[in-house]
């Protein structure tokens, strides 16, 4: 079985449990295969945890979950050195981050100090504890969930933290037919614990290497650069897209092309992922907020105005 067929099986397996949100599943797989991380933003109870757990079970990956609260400490995530009185030495007690799929539930309910403890893990695939560098298992994917900012007891994620997420996705409520289907599956006992394993976590590493070989021509690179550059000069934004955002856009476009069965990137691949990759990294000016401007609307205008390469 080819790797592309394996991706299709993985997608279908998740869609059997996480019903009616095929686009969300596709974007999650793009982040996984492109080596990025995902921020799921929505109200509680729409299946964010189910999605993360289904993915982990489908690829037989180790899964860790942490429920963020105001008193969660960085050591709860990355681990801590504990003194062993018998041996007279410090031993490392690993934190929840030492898993291939890490679900950080309600990340914006914890303090900025604890949020920032994930930065090194997300950017470099490692953590540093008491001067000791510890590599994380591969593939490593953080799926963080975030409550809408107007919810009580939330801390806004710092811009540096937001920039570490390849995509921000919103699950949303399912359609009527999808929700009825979800209830039918629930009554039939088709829950997360019944999910089949369709691939190994190690297979994902091979697919990532193949995605890096997907060709991106100069005119496509210039198209991406034009969009990103426009976010930086548009006076409605006080903060435009970073170079990290541009690199994430390149890799996500490659992954989208790969899933579509191509070995080259088209403008359609860029347009398929650009909103999810860039929107959460952009910050409106105070004047734009007063005028009720919306980040997504402004970004859509930039995408429409940017010349599409032939």
Q: So what's the pLDDT on residue 1?
A: 44
Give the H/E segment covering residue 54. Answer: helix 48-58
Supply the DSSP symbol for 109: G
- Which of 134, 157, 159, 128 lies closest to 144, judged by CA? 157
Q: How far is CA 177 from CA 19, 23, 48, 173, 180, in A?
A: 10, 17, 19, 12, 5
Q: In this prediction, what percent of the chain has a pLDDT beyond 70?
A: 93
Residue 131: what pLDDT? 78
CA torsion angle for 82, 108, 64, 276 (degrees, to 10)?
Answer: -140
Q: How many CB atoms lie within 10 A of CB 174?
A: 17
Strand spans (E) along the chain: 38-41, 63-67, 79-84, 89-94, 101-105, 126-129, 132-135, 141-146, 167-169, 237-239, 283-284
Q: How confident is the model at residue 179 (pLDDT cuts 50, 70, 90)?
A: confident
Mean pLDDT of 211-234: 95
Distance (Å, rounded) from C-alpha 249 to C-alpha 221?
A: 10
Our CA dihedral for 107, 111, 117, 120, rounded to 10 degrees, sits at 70
Tell me: pLDDT of 152 over 70.
no
Question: DSSP string of 222-281?
Answer: HHHHHHHHHHHH-TTEEE---HHHHHHHHHHHHHHHHHTT-SB--HHHHHHHHHHHHGGG
Torsion sign over Cα 146, 152, 153, 157: positive
Region 261-282: mean pLDDT is 94
In this prediction, residues 286-310 reach a mean pLDDT of 89
Q: pLDDT tens digit string along 72-108?
A: 888 888 888 787 788 777 777 888 899 999 998 888 8
More confident: 77 or 49: 77
Integer-rounded Cα radius of gyration of the chain: 20
Q: How far is CA 12 from CA 143, 166, 304, in A?
A: 20, 23, 32
**CA separation for the pair 82, 90 (Å, rounded):** 5
- Nearest 5°: CA angle at 242, between 33 and 102? 40
Torsion sign (Cα): 271, 276, 280, 281: negative
Query: Mean pLDDT across the stretch 276-294?
Result: 89
Q: CB neighbours of 153 closer than 8 A, spacing ≥ 6?
A: 70, 109
Q: What is d(CA 137, CA 101) in angstroms, rounded to the nearest whole number? A: 9
Q: Contact, 124 vs 242, CB < 8 A?
A: no
- Please compute the mean of the pLDDT values over residues 25-39 and round it to a whole number: 94
pLDDT at 286 over 60: yes
* Alpha-carbon gap, residue 53 to 259, rounded angstroms: 22
pLDDT band at residue 262 under the 50/70/90 scheme: very high
Mean of pLDDT over the chain: 86
d(CA 261, CA 239): 35
pLDDT for 259 equals 93
- CA-CA distances (angstroms) from residue 185 to 57, 103, 188, 306? 18, 24, 5, 44
Q: How far apart are CA 183 and CA 82, in angstroms?
A: 46
Coil/strand/helix, residue 191: coil
Q: Is the pLDDT of residue 109 over 80?
A: yes
Mean pLDDT of 143-171: 78
């Amino acid at each position: 079985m080819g790797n592309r067929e394996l991706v299709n099986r993985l997608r279908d397996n998740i869609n059997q449990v996480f019903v009616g949100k095929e686009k969300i599943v596709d974007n999650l797989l793009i982040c996984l295969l492109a080596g990025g991380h995902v921020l799921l933003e929505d109200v509680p109870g729409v299946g964010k945890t189910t999605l993360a757990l289904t993915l982990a079970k489908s690829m037989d990956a180790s899964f860790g979950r942490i429920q963020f609260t105001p008193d969660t400490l960085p050591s709860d995530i990355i681990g801590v050195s504990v003194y062993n009185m018998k041996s007279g030495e410090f031993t490392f007690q690993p934190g929840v981050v030492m898993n291939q799929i890490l679900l950080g539930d309600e990340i914006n309910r914890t303090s900025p100090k604890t949020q920032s403890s994930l930065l090194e893990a997300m950017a470099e695939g490692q953590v540093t504890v008491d001067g000791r560098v510890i590599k994380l298992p591969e593939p490593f994917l953080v799926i963080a969930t975030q409550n809408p900012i107007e919810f009580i007891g939330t801390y806004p994620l710092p811009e540096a933290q937001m920039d570490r997420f390849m995509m921000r996705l919103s699950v949303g409520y399912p359609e009527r037919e999808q929700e009825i289907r979800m209830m039918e599956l629930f009554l039939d006992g088709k829950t997360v614990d019944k999910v089949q394993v369709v691939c190994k976590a190690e297979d994902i590493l091979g697919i990532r290497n193949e995605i890096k070989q997907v060709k991106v021509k100069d005119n496509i690179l210039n198209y991406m650069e034009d969009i990103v550059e426009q976010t930086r000069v548009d006076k409605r934004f006080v903060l435009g897209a970073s170079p990290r955002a541009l690199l994430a856009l390149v890799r996500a476009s490659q992954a989208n092309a790969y899933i579509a069965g191509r070995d080259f990137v088209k403008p359609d691949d860029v347009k398929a992922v650009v909103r999810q990759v860039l929107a959460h990294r952009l910050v409106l000016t105070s004047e734009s907020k007063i005028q009720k401007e919306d980040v997504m609307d402004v970004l859509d205008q930039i995408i429409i105005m940017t010349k599409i390469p032939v």
